[in-house]
Structure 1
Amino acid sequence: MSADGLVTHASPYGPRETMDRLEAEVTAKGLQVFARIDHAAGAAEVGLSLRPTEVLIFGSAKAGTPLMQSVQFIGIDLPLRALVWQDASGAAWLSYNDPAWLAARHGVPGDMAVLGNMSALPAAVTKAATAPSS
């Protein structure tokens, strides 16, 4: 389960609960949720089956705009996205593109202050969304 720039964490929750928890964490951080896309529902609408697979698109213009001002075509990868999916054994996973990898991919200068915060954000919301209940 490795791909360049992709960070993946196991979740102790089912896919729906994992996504709900992620969306709640993103919102609690004051970020905007742009869309929640249910790929499995889309597949079902055309008579196909797909294990639970949802994408959350989220971000902040305050963080993303300086990156696009520097290298405009990074906009193809912004806002940030997280994927919650279920594997064949029934385990739930949460994956996202590492913002530092995205910045390197597009040649964003490494001295941009926004990169540190943007890189820490998906790690923090993912950790919180997949943390076992106490």
Structure 2
Amino acid sequence: MSDESGLVTITGHQAFDKTVDDVCAAVTAAGYHVFARVDHRENAVRVGRELPPTTVVLFGEPTVGTDLIAERRTAGLDLPSKILVWQDKEDGQDAVRLTYNTADWLVRRHGLEREGAASARTLEEVTEPICRQAASPPAS
């Protein structure tokens, strides 16, 4: 599901930790580099707060991201690319979600044209199947 905010959210069919691991594996298989996993829940626990499982996977590939940043330096604010894996409740059951930014949103936000816009589309063309793969039900 995509909305005007430029976010696409899909529902996963695996456990939270497995989904995060699958995102990282799919990023690597696509030839991109996982720069970091940011575990927001772990950070919340450190300050005595509660938060459902929420992890951001930061990833990229300089030959793609450089064109965005070269065209508009402000695009560097949204790079490396990110996939948010988060858990909430749906009908009383834990539900895992994966959320990422659309290319159109990046293009609009930073006024990209030419190579930058093409690179934004390339990022979405890589990110969408990574999320779909990580969200897939387990093979039976």
- TM-score, normalised by the number of residues in structure 2: 0.88
In 1, the alpha carbon distance for the partners of 2:67 and 2:24 equals: 24
21-30 or 95-104, which deviates more: 95-104
Segment of structure 1 superposing worse, 103-112 or 53-62: 103-112
2:104 is equivalent to residue 100 of structure 1:
yes
Report % sequence identity.
Answer: 38
**1:129 maps onto 2:134 in alignment:** yes
Residue deviations 1:58-108, cap 9 Å, x none? Answer: 011110001111111111001110101011341110001113311221100
Superposed CA RMSD in Å reads 1.7
1:120 aligned residue (93, 114, 125): 125
Distance 1:113 1:3, change over 3 A: closer
Unpaired stretches in structure 2, ≥5 consecutive residues: none
Query: 1:11-30 counterparts in 2 under 5 A?
Result: 11-30=12-31
Q: Deviations over 1:84-134 (max 9, x none)?
A: 101134111000111331122110005643333222011010111111223
| Aligned mates of 2:98, 2:75 — CA distance in 1 | 22
Contact 2:13 2:138 in 1 (8 A): no
Partner of 2:51: 50
Distance 1:114 1:96 in 2: 15
SS at 2:14's partner residue? coil
Q: Is the 8 A contact 2:106 2:120 kept in 1?
A: no
Native 8 Å contact 1:11 1:18 kept in 2: yes
Q: Residue 50 of structure 2 aligns to a residue in which SS? A: coil
Structure 2 partner of 1:10: 11
What CA deviation, in whole Å up to 9, does each residue of 1:22-62 have, x standing for no partner? 01000111111111010001111111111000000001111
* C-alpha contact 1:74 1:103 (8 A) present in aligned 2: no
Does 2:45 correspond to 1:40? no
Query: Partners of 2:126 and 2:104 in 1: how far apart?
Result: 11
Q: Which amino acid aligns with 2:104?
A: A
Give the distance between the partners of 2:87 and 2:61, measured in 1 at CA.
28
